[in-house]
């Protein structure tokens, strides 16, 4: 939850979903609005998702549907993460095992779980050479083209409005120095244009989803990432729809976190796309592993368009390379040193719940934000205004939306707008008096227009 107070006091500790949703707005918002947290105003979040949200980012994990019945797994997932990726359940072989026959059950379990918890969902992945059902590989060019477009359209429309980012095309480039496209049924039969076609089809299928290209061994500036970079630059120049690039970030001693990781993320961001760390895991243990994780998190935080981090699993015991113990929780769901490093890098603390703070001081007020509802095209936000230790007679707070977002409705307040239409200044509707510690709230509906970040919340000003 975001808290913008006029005084440097600790703010209440909010729990659970409300806290997570609210936090999601906070820092990115404050950064966007040019606001700076006063020393002592921000509490330190105690989970990965909350801490990331306070930095305007998500912190996600890959999830396996068949683990959701394990209580420790689900408890850890629910407590720590605010975004999920289906580890295997949205791949082509899982969703369309035979032509035209779609099987959404396992993936739906993950999406439904995530939505019930207020988590975001990343879609992984629509067009990939691996985990393809046999029938796809046997098709001729025309048939393959229509099968690819049909698959993209059906799958994206099934979860239309429910998935914030899709890996539209995964791993289409060769390793090594060639910079060439990887051989695959798509590449071999449709040529280079299959990637562009997939992205255009994806945009039409769910115009609100962010469309990502996702790959591995592209984390450094190297021949492979240069080839991806050239493709993204070309797409942006020609208006081919692409919104984000995913960097899988599977690291180990033979493939360590590169020294130019941040610079590489930044050069892609400078092309006008978001960047996301999509499958992070780092083999190792102890302090060494923790330091590598810290480096990755710091790199993402240093790049304003790095919108989130996903680790490739909850616990070492179910990792695709469990022998390398590459994740943040061990096989018994204990937090590893890497967990502490990530949480600390995000600005959080494992120091426990400090409990309700004293709130703003005399003559002051504070504001917190939470998302209360979300639909396919819009969400509702609620801002709670609380008086400090003395009564106040009025208040004012700015809410700044992120274009192309638009506020379409407000309630329990009297809004005015700046010339851009992006900054709403809300004042009380009538008597704005609040007794010491008392609170009131106002609400608004934001048409997302594809941008689901929380609006930026300014500080509370008394009058």
How far apart (Å, rounded) are the C-alpha atoms in residues 193 and 148? 13
How far apart (Å, rounded) are the C-alpha atoms in residues 172 and 250? 17
Nearest Cα neighbor of 122 from 146, 90, 94, 170 is 90
Q: Which of 87, 96, 171, 279 is catalytic?
A: 279
Could you say which of 41, 47, 218, 248 contacts ligand G3I (CB under 6 A)? Answer: 248
Q: Which of residues 391-420 bind ligand G3I (CB under 6 A)?
A: none
Is residue 283 near ligand G3I by the rule CB under 6 A?
Answer: no
- Residue 3 or 283: the one with the smaller Cβ distance to ligand G3I is 283
Q: Least distance in Å: CB of 373 to ligand G3I?
A: 32
Helices (H) and strands (E) in the chain, counts: 13, 19
- Residue 87 or 206: the one with the smaller Cβ distance to ligand G3I is 87
State the residue number with the nearest CB to ligand G3I. 320
Q: Least distance in Å: CB of 311 to ligand G3I?
A: 12
How far apart (Å, rounded) are the C-alpha atoms in residues 191 and 111? 33
Q: What are phi and psi of 412, to 5 degrees?
A: 60, 30
Q: How far is CA 44 from CA 194, 327, 346, in A?
A: 46, 23, 10
Q: Least distance in Å: CB of 131 to ligand G3I?
A: 5
Is residue 279 near ligand G3I by the rule CB under 6 A?
Answer: yes
Nearest Cα neighbor of 442 from 368, 370, 383, 369 is 383
- Residue 250 or 382: the one with the smaller Cβ distance to ligand G3I is 250
Q: Least distance in Å: CB of 248 to ligand G3I?
A: 5
Q: Within 10 A of 435 (CB to CB), how many other CB atoms are there?
A: 10
Q: Least distance in Å: CB of 218 to ligand G3I?
A: 12
Is residue 97 near ligand G3I by the rule CB under 6 A?
Answer: no
- Residue 130 or 142: the one with the smaller Cβ distance to ligand G3I is 130
Q: Least distance in Å: CB of 66 to ligand G3I?
A: 8
Q: Least distance in Å: CB of 94 to ligand G3I?
A: 9
- Residue 326 or 360: the one with the smaller Cβ distance to ligand G3I is 326
Q: Least distance in Å: CB of 462 to ligand G3I?
A: 52
Contact predicate 425/389, CB 8 Å: no
Q: How far is CA 222 from CA 174, 251, 270, in A?
A: 12, 16, 17
- Residue 248 or 264: the one with the smaller Cβ distance to ligand G3I is 248
Question: Hey, what are 231's tokens?
Answer: 């493709």
DSSP label of 98: B
- Please report how the helices 223-238 and 261-269 are oriented relative to each other, as an axis angle in degrees rounded to 10: 10
Question: Hey, what are 118's tokens?
Answer: 């207020």
| Residue appearing with tokens 């939306």 | 401
- Residue 91 or 402: the one with the smaller Cβ distance to ligand G3I is 91
Q: For ligand G3I, what does the binding mask look like between residues 208 and 227, x meaning CB under 6 A?
A: --------x-----------
Whether 279 is a known active-site residue: answer yes
Is residue 88 near ligand G3I by the rule CB under 6 A?
Answer: yes
- Residue 216 or 369: the one with the smaller Cβ distance to ligand G3I is 216
How far apart (Å, rounded) are the C-alpha atoms in residues 130 and 137? 11
How far apart (Å, rounded) are the C-alpha atoms in residues 10 and 39? 9
Q: Which of residues 129-148 bind ligand G3I (CB under 6 A)?
A: 130-131
Is residue 243 near ligand G3I by the rule CB under 6 A?
Answer: no
* Three-state secondary structure readout of 363-405: CCEEEEEEEEEECCCEEEEEEEEEECCCCECCEEEEEECCCCC
- Residue 97 or 272: the one with the smaller Cβ distance to ligand G3I is 97
Contact predicate 305/269, CB 8 Å: yes
DSSP-based helix, strand, coil % in the chain, nearest 5: 35, 25, 40
Q: Least distance in Å: CB of 61 to ligand G3I?
A: 12
Question: Hey, what are 449's tokens?
Answer: 């227009």
Q: Which of residues 286-325 bind ligand G3I (CB under 6 A)?
A: 320
Could you say which of 80, 87, 197, 243 contacts ligand G3I (CB under 6 A)? Answer: 87
Nearest Cα neighbor of 303 from 330, 266, 250 is 266
Q: Within 10 A of 208 (CB to CB), how many other CB atoms are there?
A: 17
- Residues interacting with ligand G3I, by CB under 6 A? 87-88, 130-131, 216, 248, 279, 320
> Which of the residues are catalytic?
279
């Amino acid at each position: 939850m975001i808290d913008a107070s006029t005084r440097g006091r600790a703010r209440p500790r909010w729990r659970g979903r409300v806290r997570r949703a609210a936090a999601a707005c906070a820092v990115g918002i404050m950064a966007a609005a040019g606001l700076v947290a006063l020393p002592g105003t921000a509490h330190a979040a105690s989970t990965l998702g909350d801490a990331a949200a306070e930095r305007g980012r998500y912190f996600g994990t890959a999830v396996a549907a068949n683990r959701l019945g394990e209580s420790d797994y689900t408890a850890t997932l629910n407590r720590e993460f605010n975004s999920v990726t289906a580890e295997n359940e949205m791949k082509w072989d899982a969703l369309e095992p035979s032509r035209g026959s779609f099987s959404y059950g396992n993936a739906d379990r993950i999406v439904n779980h995530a939505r019930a918890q207020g988590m975001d969902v990343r879609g992984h992945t629509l067009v990939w050479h691996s985990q393809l059902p046999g029938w796809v590989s046997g098709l001729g060019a025309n048939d393959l083209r229509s099968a690819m477009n049909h698959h993209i359209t059906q799958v994206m429309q099934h979860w239309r409005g429910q998935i914030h980012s899709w890996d539209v095309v995964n791993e289409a480039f060769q390793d090594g120095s060639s910079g060439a496209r990887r051989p695959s049924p798509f590449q071999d039969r449709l040529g280079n244009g299959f990637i562009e076609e997939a992205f255009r089809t994806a945009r039409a299928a769910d115009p609100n989803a962010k469309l990502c290209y996702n790959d591995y061994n592209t984390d450094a500036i190297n021949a492979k990432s240069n080839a991806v970079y050239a493709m993204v630059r070309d797409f942006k120049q020609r208006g081919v729809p692409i919104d984000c690039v995913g960097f899988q970030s599977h690291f180990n001693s033979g493939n360590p976190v590169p020294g130019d990781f941040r610079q590489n993320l930044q050069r892609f961001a400078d092309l006008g796309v978001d960047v996301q760390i999509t499958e992070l895991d780092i083999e190792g243990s102890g302090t060494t592993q923790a330091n590598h994780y810290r480096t990755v998190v710091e790199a993402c935080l240093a790049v304003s368009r790095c919108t989130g981090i996903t680790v490739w699993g909850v616990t070492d015991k179910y990792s695709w390379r469990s022998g390398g113990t590459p994740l943040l929780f061990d096989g018994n769901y204990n937090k590893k040193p890497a967990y502490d490093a990530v949480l600390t890098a995000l600005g959080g603390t494992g120091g426990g719940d400090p409990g309700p703070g004293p709130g703003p001081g005399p003559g002051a007020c504070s504001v917190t934000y939470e998302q209360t509802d979300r639909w396919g095209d819009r969400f509702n936000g609620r801002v709670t205004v609380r008086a400090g230790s003395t009564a106040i007679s009025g208040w004012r707070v700015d809410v700044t939306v992120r274009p192309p977002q638009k506020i379409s409705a407000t309630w329990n307040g009297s809004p005015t707008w700046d010339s851009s239409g992006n900054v709403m200044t809300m004042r009380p509707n009538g008597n704005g008096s609040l007794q010491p510690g008392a609170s009131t709230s106002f609400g608004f509906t934001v048409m997302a227009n594809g941008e689901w970040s929380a609006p930026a919340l300014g500080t509370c000003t008394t009058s």
